[in-house]
Structure 1
Amino acid sequence: MAWKTLDDMDLDGMVVLTRVDINVPVENGQVTDDTRIQRILPTIRDILDAGGKPVLLAHFGRPKGQRVPDMSLSVVRPALEAALGCPVKFAEDCIGGPAKKAVAGLEKGDVLLLENTRFHEGETKNDGGFAASLAALGNVYCNDAFSAAHRAHASTAGLAHLLPACAGRLMQAELSALEAALGDPERPVVAVVGGAKVSTKLDLLGNLVKRVDHLVIGGGMANTFLAARGIEIGTSLAEHDMADTAREILEKADAAGCEIILPSDVVVAREFAAGAAHETVAVDACPADAMILDAGPETVARITAVFETARTLIWNGPLGAFEIEPFDAATNAAAKAAAELSAAGRLTSVAGGGDTVAALNKADAAKDFTYISTAGGAFLEWMEGKELPGVAALGD
């Protein structure tokens, strides 16, 4: 898809309405994780360097069209100022008098944060009138919130039709990474998909079997596939009512020439607890009173061997119950192998999803992956092959 970036826009003297995602965790009035703030800094700084005046549009929580004091973006302002290293002006509304006055007072070098767009119900309804009120404030629209691009909201999609529009640096990086992973990837391509339930990732699996050469299935999802093949899995977490669906996915993969990789050996235990007594057994030897909590070393060796031959890796979800030792071993080992290949320039690796990022950080592997997406839902919908309204609007 063709979309413009900041490099394609004349920003000198322009008010740049910049949609960002700073929906960060807050406790006792303090931002506890500023990762999302850090990731928008290149866009803000590049707009400033080009002589533009960045006006930040963002949501915070789900106020459902009401003005909820606890969901005011003013709480994020100190962390934003600390990250930028300069003052950030704040307007108590994102449209109307307060917003117009704040924008009119901007000088080059100023950064303005507008109040929560979701205080207006027109935001989530993608109301044309609300989008026009936002557009009236600026000259250029820049979307740097890929994580909100799967929402057809006024500030993520509507605005792009009303002003000259471009992608910010974070949006540009996300789109470039995902295009490299699924759009026109270097082959062979391997995908790792883990997590608890097949039912939550049907669209994802259905899309991937048509587009990748190898699909590694891990976590509780793998148990469902094993059970569907008639393998006894003891008391393991599984969706037995999804057996027919699992078999259909296996058939589609076979027809598409996609190799499905399931565990050949597993780590089992009688309880899900840190340090629980456990053993590694062949996949068809799970005791009736035990549960599968991780893939075994033979499986990990198979996965890493596939990584060695691959050129592109897409990763979403852990291979086991990574939150608790020792059931993080497979995820850690596979993640480290992927990270080493990526660092050596032999593998383009793109990963995303909440549990995925946590698992890769725990394995100390995230830093060497080619790209880590923090987008969550938007990342998954892109992998599912769905059109994202916020992205589509930039290409219109």
Structure 2
Amino acid sequence: MKYKLLNQFDFSNKRVFLRTDFNVPIVNRKILDDLKIKAHFPTIDYLTDKGARIILGSHIGRPNLHAVGSRESLLHKNPDTDAKIIFTYLKKLYRDKISFIDTGIGEEVNSCIKDLPQGHILLLQNLRYEKGEQSKIENEKQEFAKLLSSYFDIYVNDALSVCQNRDASVSYLPQLSKKATIGFLLTEEIKRMEKLIKPELPAAAFFGGFKVKDKIGAFQKLLGKGFEIFIGGAMRNPFLKYQDYHIGGSTLDPGCDDIINQLMDDFGDKIHIPVDVRVGRMTGKEKTEISNIRFVNFLKNEEIRPEEEALDNGPRTMKLYKEITEQRGIKTMVANGPFGLIENRSFRFGTFEVARIFLENQHAFRVFGGGELNHGFNLFSKRFKIDTKTLGERCYAGNGMLQYIANDGDLPGLRAVQDNQ
């Protein structure tokens, strides 16, 4: 797909709806990681410099309006999904050029947009507070998108991380807008994804995280394009089970045995599975305390006990992964998902070793993505006092990255923009 660039549009005094992704980790109304917000600044700044009147729209978290019945109840039950938290953050940078409106989409919002001066910004409340944003009723989505589209002149999507969604503001709104295009961040992320779809070989993919089923499409595409896959995270467990290793109480993504069997039958020589893991016993009321931490080496016929879980890749595995990538002379690398339970210091080794492999392959095209993996690479950078940029290109879309690969870039949000340029 080809898209018109921002510099091909006249934004002077135009009302521009900018779909961002401000869905960042927030605890007790405090933003824990602001990198995804900052990634949108080039697009926002360009539009303000060109005299646009910007309406910022985003979702935060997964508030379920249909379950609680009202916006007030929703905000009470999910205070960390309040877009006012984002407004407070943005206000420090944009000062009197940004305002916030807490009401639902309607005439009051329209009135604020009409009064918005050139080069100024209006941040809307969390779009998922709106009944039509994620409605299962097609007509409700259409009506919400139709109403919102009447408030602006140009639609700009700047987040790959939302493009796989069928939310009204992503897949319906662009089609109903007068004009639609993509921002600087989304443009760059698409360029990175295209280098994975058309890779320079040899190529390696490091997959962690939990759900195999979410990654199966990307797995198959990358393997078919010549990638070798290196497994980590809780994803390792069904692959270990396939090898007839005893995995104890390790977490399993249910219903994926047939998927694993098919993958291994078709591409077994291209899929690398851990030969040792670090395990622990999860205890405490919330299962957050970990005891009896030890290594299990499958090559020595060691087993994970029933009360233990595999929580990280072991040193033999990561040494083997590193040796294989060195032998191959990898030219394209991608990583998605953490290799261990990175919220615990004892289980960051695997993720840190993936970061080290990326650091030591400066000649290769490298891209990494997903919230937890991004956090893990940030921790590695802080621990060893290096710039995260030396690890490769960051992608802020975790599942969006996977879906882009699996569908060769044909995502609902991108298709909607493409159809209305």
TM-score (norm 1): 0.86
Maintained 8 Å contact 2:295/2:314 = no
The size of the alignment, in residue pairs, is 388
Q: Distance in 1 between matches of 2:179 and 2:118?
A: 20
Of the three residues 100, 121, 132, the one matched with 1:90 is 100
Of the three residues 299, 303, 309, the one matched with 2:321 is 303
Once the two structures are TM-superposed, the CA of residue 110 in structure 1 deviates from its matched residue by 1.4
Maintained 8 Å contact 2:281/2:290 = no
Once the two structures are TM-superposed, the CA of residue 165 in structure 1 deviates from its matched residue by 0.8
Q: Distance in 1 between matches of 2:304 and 2:103?
A: 60
CA RMSD of aligned residues (A): 2.9
Of the three residues 366, 376, 383, the one matched with 1:359 is 376
Tell me whether 1:373 sits opposite 2:390 in the alignment.
no
Aligned to 1:19: 19
Matched position secondary structure for 2:170:
coil
- For residues 96-126 of structure 1, the C-alpha deviation after alignment (integer angstroms, 9 at most, x for no partner) is 3212221221222211123333333222246
Maintained 8 Å contact 1:269/1:293 = yes
Residues 152 and 188 of structure 1, relative CA distance in 2, 3 Å threshold: same
Once the two structures are TM-superposed, the CA of residue 240 in structure 1 deviates from its matched residue by 8.9
Matched position secondary structure for 2:97:
coil
Letter in 2 for 1:391: L
Structure 2: give runs of 5+ residues left out of the alignment: 283-288
Tell me whether 1:178 sits opposite 2:193 in the alignment.
yes
Residues 385 and 252 of structure 1, relative CA distance in 2, 3 Å threshold: farther
Of the three residues 65, 70, 83, the one matched with 1:73 is 83
Tell me whether 1:392 sits opposite 2:411 in the alignment.
no
Once the two structures are TM-superposed, the CA of residue 214 in structure 1 deviates from its matched residue by 0.6
Once the two structures are TM-superposed, the CA of residue 35 in structure 1 deviates from its matched residue by 3.0
- For residues 197-253 of structure 1, the C-alpha deviation after alignment (integer angstroms, 9 at most, x for no partner) is 535533343333223421111233323223313344556555697444322111221
Q: Distance in 2 between matches of 1:241 and 1:90?
A: 45
Residues 199 and 159 of structure 1, relative CA distance in 2, 3 Å threshold: closer
Maintained 8 Å contact 2:18/2:156 = yes
Matched position secondary structure for 1:124:
coil
Q: Distance in 1 between matches of 2:82 and 2:407?
A: 34
Residues 322 and 91 of structure 1, relative CA distance in 2, 3 Å threshold: closer
Tell me whether 1:166 sits opposite 2:201 in the alignment.
no
Query: Percent sequence identity over matched residues?
Result: 27
Q: Distance in 2 between matches of 1:13 and 1:362?
A: 42
Tell me whether 1:215 sits opposite 2:233 in the alignment.
no
Maintained 8 Å contact 1:193/1:217 = yes
Residues 388 and 275 of structure 1, relative CA distance in 2, 3 Å threshold: same
Matched position secondary structure for 1:7:
helix
Q: Distance in 2 between matches of 1:328 and 1:27?
A: 22
Residues 380 and 299 of structure 1, relative CA distance in 2, 3 Å threshold: same
Maintained 8 Å contact 2:50/2:119 = no
Q: Distance in 1 between matches of 2:316 and 2:126?
A: 51
- For residues 302-361 of structure 1, the C-alpha deviation after alignment (integer angstroms, 9 at most, x for no partner) is 3223434111111112334444344432331231121232xx3x1111122233223222
Letter in 1 for 2:134: T
Of the three residues 314, 332, 338, the one matched with 2:358 is 338
Once the two structures are TM-superposed, the CA of residue 141 in structure 1 deviates from its matched residue by 0.8
- For residues 336-394 of structure 1, the C-alpha deviation after alignment (integer angstroms, 9 at most, x for no partner) is 121232xx3x1111122233223222222744233222323323322433742111112
Letter in 2 for 1:97: E
Tell me whether 1:118 sits opposite 2:135 in the alignment.
no
Once the two structures are TM-superposed, the CA of residue 168 in structure 1 deviates from its matched residue by 1.1
- For residues 272-322 of structure 1, the C-alpha deviation after alignment (integer angstroms, 9 at most, x for no partner) is 676845346353521464764443434323322343411111111233444
Residues 60 and 261 of structure 1, relative CA distance in 2, 3 Å threshold: closer
Once the two structures are TM-superposed, the CA of residue 271 in structure 1 deviates from its matched residue by 3.6
Q: Distance in 1 between matches of 2:85 and 2:304?
A: 52
Maintained 8 Å contact 1:307/1:338 = no
Once the two structures are TM-superposed, the CA of residue 32 in structure 1 deviates from its matched residue by 4.3
Residues 87 and 64 of structure 1, relative CA distance in 2, 3 Å threshold: same
Maintained 8 Å contact 1:57/1:116 = yes
Aligned to 1:281: 297
Matched position secondary structure for 1:314:
strand
Maintained 8 Å contact 1:190/1:306 = no
Of the three residues 167, 180, 192, the one matched with 2:206 is 192
- For residues 120-160 of structure 1, the C-alpha deviation after alignment (integer angstroms, 9 at most, x for no partner) is 32222463332222122111111113222222222112221
Aligned to 1:45: 45
- For residues 185-206 of structure 1, the C-alpha deviation after alignment (integer angstroms, 9 at most, x for no partner) is 2222211112345355333433
Aligned to 1:261: 272
Letter in 2 for 1:36: K
Aligned to 2:65: 64
Maintained 8 Å contact 1:219/1:318 = yes
Q: How does 1:225-244 map onto structure 2 within 5 Å? A: 225-233=239-247, 236-238=250-252, 242-244=256-258
Letter in 2 for 1:99: V
Once the two structures are TM-superposed, the CA of residue 29 in structure 1 deviates from its matched residue by 4.5
Maintained 8 Å contact 1:228/1:240 = no
Matched position secondary structure for 1:16:
strand
Q: Distance in 1 between matches of 2:103 and 2:92?
A: 22
Letter in 2 for 1:208: L
| Structure 1 segments of 4+ aligned residues over 6 angstroms from their partners | none
TM-score (norm 2): 0.81
